[in-house]
């Protein structure tokens, strides 16, 4: 059986600065992997390569056996056509640090846009799906509210509903609680935890160590553009094998 996600020798440069220096990672269906590491270690960049928000110069990323973003024809590596990339992006769902809700659309409108325009659902069908997912994130009562009328935590939950409603094979969470007031963090983590319990495959870039410890089936520690260490959360947090990870954990709050 092919892995859900297969990353091989991923290299990414900004100009002359190499931010990913050969990352290998594979992930099975239903796994929940947290990616931790200090800022600048490449964790967010790696996540963004998976749905081609970032270009990458070397290596391959495959989801369900499909190569993402690039194809090699006759030894020449080329970016796939934009239409194909757009289609591949829908294989994954992404939630962002800054939520990035569309401010001119209601909560329902945000969730429905992709369903109607990408999945080609009728508005009625899309509305029903939006209702279902907004209910799941506890915001059915806010379905016709606009982002400006919602708290940060509520906006992030709508953003998660928007991503998950597209029925992605893999959810990507990019520091989704970093922009939230501390008292709003929990409501978002609860939503993610519930999705994990439902068997959703997820890659979570986070600074919430306690959360990573509790929710993950595996943890990846990124260090200077490479995977520094990986393993199950218990081993990683309690018995770090590398000096780097031990140091990193010492400087992070585990609460």
Contact positions vs another protein (CB under 8 A): 51-53, 82-83, 86-87, 89-90, 92-94, 96, 98-104, 113-114, 117-118, 145-146, 148-149, 159, 162-163, 166
User: What is the residue-wise DSSP string for 39-63?
Assistant: TTSSHHHHHHHHTTSS--SEEEEEE
In this structure, the strands spanning 32-36 and 202-205 are parallel
Report the 10 Å Cβ neighbour count for 184. 18
Q: How far is the CB of 44 from another protein (least distance, A)?
A: 12
Quote the least distance from Cβ 53 to another protein, whole Å: 5
Judged by CB, which is closer to another protein: 180, or 245? 180
Closer residue to another protein in complex, CB, 86/194: 86
Q: How far is the CB of 102 from another protein (least distance, A)?
A: 6
User: Shortest distance, CB of residue 156 to another protein, whole angstroms?
Assistant: 12
* Cα-based distances in Å from 233 to 40, 213, 222, 249: 22, 5, 14, 12
CA distance 8 to 145: 43
Gap between the Cα atoms of 246 and 172, Å rounded: 26
Rounded-to-integer distance, Cα 198 and Cα 184, Å = 23
Task: Kindly tell me which of 102 and 254 has the beta carbon lying closer to another protein.
Answer: 102
Residue 198 CA to residue 162 CA, distance in Å, equals 17
The residue ranges of DSSP E strands in the chain, in sequence order, are: 5-14, 17-27, 32-36, 58-63, 66-67, 70-73, 76-79, 92-95, 170-174, 202-205, 218-223, 226-231
CB of 146 to another protein, least distance (A): 5
Looking at beta carbons only, is 161 or 219 nearer to another protein?
Answer: 161
Q: Specify the residue, 83 or 250, whose C-beta has the smaller distance to another protein.
A: 83
For residue 88, give both structure tokens. Answer: 């591949």
Tokens 């939230």 belong to 180
Q: Between residues 144 and 214, which has the closer beta carbon with respect to another protein?
A: 144
C-alpha distances (whole Å) from 16 to each of 13, 56, 92, 164 are 6, 13, 29, 36
Please, what is the minimum distance in Å from the beta carbon of residue 18 to another protein?
Answer: 23
Q: Which is nearer to another protein, 104 or 239 (CB)?
A: 104
Smallest distance, Å, CB 234 to another protein? 32
């Amino acid at each position: 059986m092919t892995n859900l996600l297969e990353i091989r020798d991923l290299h990414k440069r900004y100009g002359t600065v190499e931010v990913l220096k050969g990352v290998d990672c594979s992930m099975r269906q239903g796994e929940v992997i947290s990616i931790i590491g200090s800022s600048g270690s490449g964790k967010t960049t790696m996540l963004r390569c998976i749905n081609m928000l970032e270009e990458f110069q070397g290596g391959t990323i495959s989801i369900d056996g499909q190569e993402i973003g690039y194809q090699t024809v006759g030894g020449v590596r080329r970016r796939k056509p934009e239409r194909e990339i757009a289609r591949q992006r829908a294989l994954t769902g992404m939630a962002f640090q800054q939520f990035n809700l569309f401010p001119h659309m209601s909560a329902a409108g945000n969730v429905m846009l992709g369903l109607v325009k990408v999945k080609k659902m009728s508005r009625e069908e899309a509305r029903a799906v939006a209702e279902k997912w907004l209910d799941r994130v506890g915001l059915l009562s806010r379905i016709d509210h606009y982002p400006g009328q919602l708290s940060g935590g509520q906006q992030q939950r709508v953003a998660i509903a928007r991503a998950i409603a597209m029925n992605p094979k893999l959810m990507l969470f990019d520091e989704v609680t970093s922009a939230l007031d501390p008292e709003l963090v929990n409501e978002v983590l609860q939503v993610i935890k519930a999705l994990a319990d439902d068997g959703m495959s997820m890659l979570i870039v986070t600074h919430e160590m306690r959360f990573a410890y509790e929710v993950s089936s595996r943890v990846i520690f990124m260090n200077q553009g490479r995977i520094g260490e990986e393993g199950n959360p218990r081993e990683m947090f309690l018995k770090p094998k590398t000096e780097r990870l031990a140091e990193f954990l010492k400087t992070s709050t585990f609460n």
